[in-house]
Chains A and B, each alone.
Chain A
Amino acid sequence: MKHWMGFPMFPEQASSVAGRVDALYFFLVAVSGVFAILIFGVITVFIVKYRRRPGKMAVASGHGHMWLELVWSVVPLALTMVMFFWGAKLFFTIYTAPPGAMDVFVVGKQWMWKFQHPEGQREINELHIPVGRPIKLTMISEDVIHDLFVPAFRVKNDVLPGRYTTMWFQATRKGDYRLFCAQYCGTEHSLMTGWVHVMDPPDYQNWLGGGAEAGPMHVIGGKLFDQLGCATCHKNDNTGRGPTLVGLFGSKVTLKSGQVMQADEDYIRDCITKPNARLLPNYEPIMPTFKGIISEEGLLQLIAYIKSLTPPQAAKTGSETK
């Protein structure tokens, strides 16, 4: 935390966007400051200079002045447009994860954060990540709306029940940084906090090495897939009663209704929890819903498994999860 005259003023800059957010902040502070000082200054001068004195009447006309009013409408408008474009551009960056980002899966519940790494490690209220690598969080809530917020990274996003939201960041400095729940979520909202531990990549590899006896996420997901009997219909060679899931992730799917959808995490989640809303041509609506049967973490594992099912010829492009 940076201090000024003993007061903390700024959180640490520990992500690739932190400096850019701060730069925008300084710009906004500067513009605001100039305007505020200008107005306060002018008011002070006026109220002193034109204070009421006996025998002295005011002389100005109060009917307005076209030019003046035009100037002080157009100048602020122009400045706000600069703010808009600058802010929007930065928002694109903060909003869109770069390709090849490392996945971490997040489940929020009252009142804790559960993190899952593709390699299988799970942690609660602590998140270990390597420095210098883009990390993409895929997040969902088990109950109410939460919000994952890391001030040092200048990023936050709501975590919704029923639908995935994502956010990404790239830590630039080793260290331990606070993470908060920023969306009010009930009694112990203020205890739904934790730490992000940013580590050197080798340390991170070591950390990954210790633990995860159940294996990587997609392996756990594969076991779940077998346990739930998914494989009886979804066969790898497309001979089952349900469509094959090999190569599904990331492809475009044409539904019975003619709608074309991108098979992303949300799509797969919806197919599992409300299968009848995503009917395919040539397949009967026979899949039961698994809503309430699989936990949010289990769903993420299944998705990791389905993501790992790449057709042989596409294997060279590989997925980051391996």
Chain B
Amino acid sequence: MLRHQFEDASQQRESAVLGMWVFLATEIMFFGGLFAAYTAYRYQYGAGFAAASHHLNMLLGAANTAVLLTSSLTMALAVHAAQVGKKPAHIAGLLVLTMLLGCAFLGIKAVEYHDKFVHHLVPGASFVWEGTLTRQAEMFYYLYFAMTGLHAIHMLAGVGVVLVVAILAARGRYTPQYHNPLEITGLYWHFVDIIWVFLFPLLYLIA
């Protein structure tokens, strides 16, 4: 398991964890562009954003937050299980649970997207807005789709990676001594969770 460029396992593990954190810093800035756009337009178009936000289903948003937070718990427990040397089936089971929760999140998201599509709230030629401030509402929905869409892409990637890690875990690859892939996958998963923790109030809860 030790690659030739490293001296020992702890150097390898520390490198992997640091590498993931640097990557997450990159990810923060990747979303950062959209957060900056959101901030600028929320400041300028406060009224339109509030009106548009009311058409989002706050309950579904809250439910999704709960689903993601739960998946973070199962992910953290999976890493914990590897750390303490639980059986492969135990680790893999927690990972599959995490993955299923991720899929549940994406499912709820799909329902919401479908709902917006039906109500002509997708920006573009087909956008229909009952009320004033059409442009501002459209801008809100543009940002809504861009931010949640980018987040959903990250979720999709996460589900894929967790699947691979779950298979490897089931084959008994991860031990208390070596579980770097599992650990950094966990970091990624929690990060995507954190992004949603901010998206939820910013998009669904505009008073």
Contact = CB atoms under 8 A, between A and B. Distances in A.
Do A and B have CB atoms closer than 8 angstroms in the complex? yes
B133 interface: yes
A275 to B, nearest CB: 8
Contacts of B46: 257
A277 interface: yes
Contact of A257 (B47, B132, B135, B136): B47
Contacts, number: 14
Interface residues of B, number: 9
- Chain A at the B interface: SS class: loop
Contacts of B132: 276, 279, 285
Interface string A267-307: 00000001011010000010000000000000000000000
Interface of A: 257, 274, 276-277, 279, 285
A169 B48 CA distance: 39
B16 to A, nearest CB: 38
Which 7 pairs show the lowest CB-CB distances between chains A and B? A276-B132, A285-B132, A276-B133, A257-B47, A277-B133, A274-B135, A277-B136
A274 B132 CA distance: 10
Nearest to B48: A277
Nearest to B136: A277
Most buried by A among B45, B46, B47, B48: B47
Most buried by A among B132, B134, B136: B132
A162 to B, nearest CB: 11
A276 B47 CA distance: 10
A257 B46 CA distance: 10
Nearest to B135: A274
A68 to B, nearest CB: 37
A276 B45 CA distance: 11
